[in-house]
Amino acid sequence: MPCLPIISVIIPTYNEKRNIGRLVDVLNKELAATSFEIIVIDDNSVDGTIELMERKSVLNDRIKFLQNPPPKGLSRSILFGLKQAKGQVIVGMDADFNHDPKIINQLINRLKSEKLDLVIASRFIKGGGMDDKLRFFLTKLFNLFLRFCFAFPSTDNASGYYAIRSSVLRKMPLNEIFVGYGEYHLRLVYLAKKMNLKFGEWPVFYRKRKYGKSKPKLLQMCFSYLKVAFQLRFCHKNYL
């Protein structure tokens, strides 16, 4: 009988044909020394992502390709993938290469070697950063605001790139965390703090997207994230 995969990598997609094929190829090389599965969940792409990943999953049994059932949306895609995951460690990441696949082993190794529950890839510690300097500055200010005004625990509370122990994740209210768009990461890290989980960070550098268009708008995201931050800080007993 085959062993259960030790690592489950969860990647949501929407119109990422020119990125996702390359990404899973890189992940296959990076994770070759361990047991793993790559779970790609698509949100009704129309650019050929679905056809590409169907072919990839047929050729490689370590790749699972799923289509997110309604309700659609980034967080719900991730939730659907999490429910299929069999790994002892879950890695969440984006499909557009903002989240550097070459640091995936560092996230996993730190989680294991230091007996942590959660490791977050951060742009705002030594070694991290972004090609887009204006966005880097504004996002860093926003994260400082989250930390000092709303008691968030991480230097990068909206990262979306993380490794977490499956046993810990399953104890969290996943249906309440994975709602909306990128706000889910705020809920994840804030609840990790409330649960007194052990967590660390690892630097990541965001490169500019080569292919496709970035989906979120910075100003819209800030308002949405502030609303969630306020709810978590002051209404969390009713919110989670």
Does 29 have pLDDT greater than 80?
A: yes
As given in the structure block, the two tokens for residue 112 are 């294991």
* Local confidence band at 1 (pLDDT 50, 70, 90 cut-offs): very low
The pairing of strands 162-165 and 89-92 is antiparallel
Q: How many CB atoms lie within 10 A of CB 186?
A: 24
The pairing of strands 7-13 and 89-92 is parallel
Question: At 65, which helix (H) or strand (E)?
Answer: strand 63-67
3-state secondary structure labels for all residues of 160-173:
CCEEEEHHHHCCCC
Question: What rounded mean pLDDT belongs to the chain?
Answer: 91
Look at the chain and count its residues.
Answer: 240
At 147 the three-state DSSP class reads helix
Is the pTM of the predicted complex or chain greater than 0.95?
no
Structure confidence at residue 4 (pLDDT):
67
Those residues whose C-beta lies under 8 Å from the C-beta of residue 65, and which sit 6 or more positions away, are: 40, 42, 53, 54, 56, 57
As given in the structure block, the two tokens for residue 95 are 């499909």
Structure confidence at residue 217 (pLDDT):
63
